[in-house]
A and B are shown apart, each in its own frame.
Chain A
C-alpha cells in the first residue's frame, strides 16, 4: 500500500518508539516507561462537508458489520428560515486519557496502550455492554458479527458478539499508513498524528489554537480535538451519545 500523505518515516519512528516501550512493559524488566507517543486526531468541522467518505472507509477497512460503526457523522439543522444552517459532527472513539470504558469493564478487557490507543482485548470481552453505557460519546458498539468465542458456552447469544470500536486503524499505522478515515477525507478535515511530537500537524493545531475535545467536563481527557464551528447543542452532548 502506498498512501503516503502521512509520512512513512514519521509513523515508523513513532511506532518504533511505542513498540519498544510496549515490549519492555510486557517483560516487566523495567518500571513502566513514560509513554512516548500520544496518537490523536483533529476534526476540522469547518472543513467537514458531511460526505461520509470516512464512514465507508472505516466500514470496509475494518470489516464492520451492518448495525455497527466505529465512526459516524452526525448532522443538525439550526436557525429559522431563511437564516438556516446545518452542522456536521464527525464522531469516533476519543481514546481518552481517563477513559470511563476502561474503568467500567468488569473483565479488564479495555486498556490503554503506550501509544495512546484505547483498545479492546476481544479474548477478555464478555459482551456485557457496560462500556457502551459508560462512554459519553457513544463510540462503542457490540459487533454482531465478530468471531465466535468458544469460552462462553453458557451464553450462546453472546458468543458471536464482542465490543468493538475505533483503534486508529493500528494495523495500518504499523504499515506506515494513516487511518482509513483520514486517508480518504476529501477535504482533509481529519488530521491524524502524534501529540508527543511537537512538530506534528496535530500538535501545532492543538497547541496553537487551544483546541478542545468533546464533553471535556466529563473529565475524560479526550484525544480527539475539534476545530471550527460547533453549535452549543452538540457541545451539550444531546446528540452525541446516541447510536442511530
Chain B
C-alpha cells in the first residue's frame, strides 16, 4: 500500500505542463562533477540558509560557484559553517529553480504555466489585467481607489536591508501596513513571554556559566544562532560545564548532554514550577536580589509555589520527583547557570506560561539579576528619509476578536483563516520567501483558501522555486537566491560586540531572476513613490559609507572585501534592567493567572489507549521548508519515520519499519514507524522538513514545471522516500495567550496498517 494514497493533498499540482509563449528558456548553468579545474576566486558574503546568517566565503572557479566556507573574520562563526550553509550552492543551481516570471494558465494549482517577460509580469502586478478570463486589480488601482491596505505582503524570512527596504520604505511609501510574517509558527510564544515579563532577555554568555538547564531547545541541532552556539557550547564542554536537557525526544543535543530527562509533551512548565518550589523550600536564593530584580516579594512567591511540589510535578510530567529536586538543587547552588529553551518548551498550549516560569526559575536562582549585559546590536545608518508608517491595514492579523489574549498583530498562521472567514480581502496577496501552505498547520485548509479566487483575487509569489504555496499563485516572480543579492545586516555576538555584515552577489542572478528588492524599487518608480534610491546595491553602499565606525574603517569597499566588520574595542556594558514582570497585570486583566501557573492542555487529560501526542522537531541538516532542493542535504536526510517508544509500540502491536496511520482532528497521515528507546512513551515524534509535494525533484521526487535538467546528479538520486509532512494533520490553532501554533500538542490515534 502506498502511503501517498492516504494523503490526498499530495495530489495537488503533480501534473505539470509547461508551455512557453514568450520565447525560449534562458541558458542555464550546467552543474556537473567533477568540479572544473582552475584557480578559485574568493568572495566574502553572508549565509541565508537559516536564521543564523553566518559570515561566509564563497569560492568560484571561472563562472561556477564551487564552494562555501565559513569566514574566519567573523567573531560569531569563527570560520565555520554548517552542512546547510555549504549546501547553499544548490539554492542557486538546483534544477527546479525558477529562472523567469511565470503566469498561471488553467486552474490555480493545476501546475500549468506560461513563461512571460518581466515587462508583462510587472504590468500585470502594477496595472492589473486578466488571468484566465478573470479581471484582477493591480497595485496602482488599489492605491488610486484609496485601498492600499488591500495589498497584503506576507513574508517568511526577510532580514536586514531586505526588510528595511521592502517594509519600511517600499510598503510604507505605497501606504499599506498589511504585513504578515511567520512569527506565530516560530518563536512567538517565547517572544510574547519575554514581552509580558518586561522584555526579559538572558544576559548570559554560555561560555561563562557553570550549568545549563535546556528545556526543549535543539542547541546543537538547529539553534537560531546555530554555529555560534555550537562553538560556545563546545568551549563550555571543555570546561566541564553540565547540561541537562529536558525533551520528549533524544535529540542530538540531548544525546550530547550530561543527562537526557524525558518529559511528557507539554509538561515542561510543571517541572520548572517544581524546581522553583525546591529552591524556595531549601532556601537556595537571595531575597534581596530577587526583590530587586522582579516585581514580586519572596513571600508572594513562596505562597504561589507552595503546591507545586516535585511530587506534584512528577504526577504531571513523569519526571521523578527526586530527579527534579536533585537537578534544581545543583542548579541553585551553581555559581552561575542559565536556563535555555525553545519550541520544545513553548510551542504548546501552555507555552507562554512555560517560558515565563523559566524566567521565574532564573530570577529565583539568581541567574537573571538586576543588571543585564547589553546585547550590542548593530546600528546601521540609512541615509534616506523614511516614509511614515501607514495606518491602513487589513484586520486579519490577530485571529478572531478575543481569541488570543496578546495577539499584538502577528498571529500570522491565522491570516488564511481570517481571509476564509471574510474578515478581510487582500486584492493583491504577495507571498515573499514563505511557504504558508506547508509551514502552517492544516495544509489542506491553507490550500483551499489560496485556491479561492474570490477571497484572494490575485496571488503573487516571489520565490526561488515552485513551493507548495507558489504553485497556487497566479504570478511567480523569480527572486535572486541569497548568493546573488545585496543586503546589509548584522547581529550581536557572544562577547557583546555588534557585528556588521553584507550579503553580496557571488554570481550574477541566474537566468532572469532578480532580487525582489530591486524589483520593489522599480515598482516604486513606476508608481512615482520616490524612495530616494533605485537598487539594493545603492542602499547597501550608502549604508556602509555612512554608518559610524564602519565608515572610518573603509565603508563599502571594506565590506566588499571582508564581508564583515566589527569594532573589537567596542565597549561592553552592563546596565540596570527594568524590573522583571513575574507578575503580569496584562495577563491578569485578560483572565489568566498573573504569575506563571500550571495550565493543563484539555485534550491531553484522558488519552485513550491508542492516542499519543504528536510533536515535531528540527534536524541539523535542514531548515523547516527552504533547503529541500539542496541535494546534499536530501541525500543525508530524506526519510522521517515517526519515532515511537519501544514499550508503546509493543502495546500497539507496532514493529520497527511498520506502516502506521496517525489520525488527528484534521486528517490522516500514513508513515513508517521508527521504534526507539529515544522518545517519551506518550509522544510520537516526526521531523517537519520532508514530505514535500512540490519544489522539485530533490525535494519531492517530482520535477517541477520549470526543471532545467542542468545537473548531472539528477540521474544519480538513489533514494525513493521523500518523507511525510506532519503539519498536514496539525490543527491550525494557537495557544490562548500568544496565538502561537501549538505544533507539539496534536493528539493522534495511532494504529498499524497492513
Contact = CB atoms under 8 A, between A and B. Distances in A.
User: Is the pairing of A and B real?
Assistant: yes
Interface of A: 1-5, 46-47, 49-53, 55-57, 59-67, 77, 79-82, 84-88, 144-147, 180, 183-188
A183 B227 CA distance: 14
Contacts of B631: 66
A19 to B, nearest CB: 20
B716 A145 contact: yes
Given A49-B252, A65-B713, A187 B230 contact: yes
Nearest to B319: A82
Given A49-B220, A51-B620, A144-B716, A60 B89 contact: yes
B262 A81 contact: yes
- Which of B231, B262, B716 neighbours the largest number of chain A CB atoms within 10 Å of its CB? B716
Contacts, number: 139
Contacts of A46: 237
Given A51-B621, A53-B81, 14 more contacts: A1-B59, A5-B79, A51-B221, A51-B252, A52-B636, A53-B83, A53-B86, A55-B636, A63-B34, A66-B713, A81-B262, A81-B647, A81-B678, A184-B86
A86 B81 contact: no
B25 to A, nearest CB: 24
Given A60-B66, A184-B81, A82 B59 contact: no
A2 B234 CA distance: 24
A221 to B, nearest CB: 30
B678 A1 contact: no
Contact of B220 (A3, A51, A60, A66): A51
A84 B717 contact: no
Contacts of B322: none
13 contacts: A2-B42, A3-B72, A55-B636, A56-B86, A56-B621, A57-B86, A60-B86, A77-B250, A77-B676, A77-B677, A84-B678, A88-B252, A144-B716
B635 interface: yes
A63 B220 contact: no
Contacts of A79: 677
A47 B260 CA distance: 17
A188 B79 CA distance: 11
Contact of A64 (B33, B80, B227): B33
Contacts of A5: 72, 79
B230 A51 contact: yes
Interface residues on B, range: 35 or more
B216 to A, nearest CB: 16
Interface string B700-736: 0000000000001100111000000000000000000
B678 A77 contact: yes
B80 A184 contact: yes
A244 to B, nearest CB: 10
B130 to A, nearest CB: 43
B234 A187 contact: yes
Contacts of B72: 2-5
Interface of B: 32-35, 40, 42, 57, 59, 66-70, 72, 79-83, 86-87, 89, 220-221, 227, 230-231, 234, 237, 250, 252, 255-256, 260-262, 620-621, 631-633, 635-636, 645-647, 676-678, 681, 712-713, 716-718
A10 B632 CA distance: 33
B81 A81 contact: no
B81 A65 contact: no
A234 B42 CA distance: 40
Contact of A86 (B59, B82, B678): B678
Contacts of A53: 80-83, 86
B255 A85 contact: yes
B262 A50 contact: no
Nearest to A51: B620
Given A53-B80, A146-B34, A60 B718 contact: no
Which 3 pairs between the two chains have the least Cβ-Cβ distance? Answer: A86-B255, A63-B35, A66-B716
Nearest to B647: A81
Nearest to B318: A82
Contacts of B712: 65, 145
A51 B83 contact: yes
A220 B75 CA distance: 42
Contact of B252 (A50, A65, A84): A50
A4 B81 CA distance: 15
Contacts of B42: 1-2
Given A50-B252, A65-B712, A82-B260, A56 B83 contact: yes
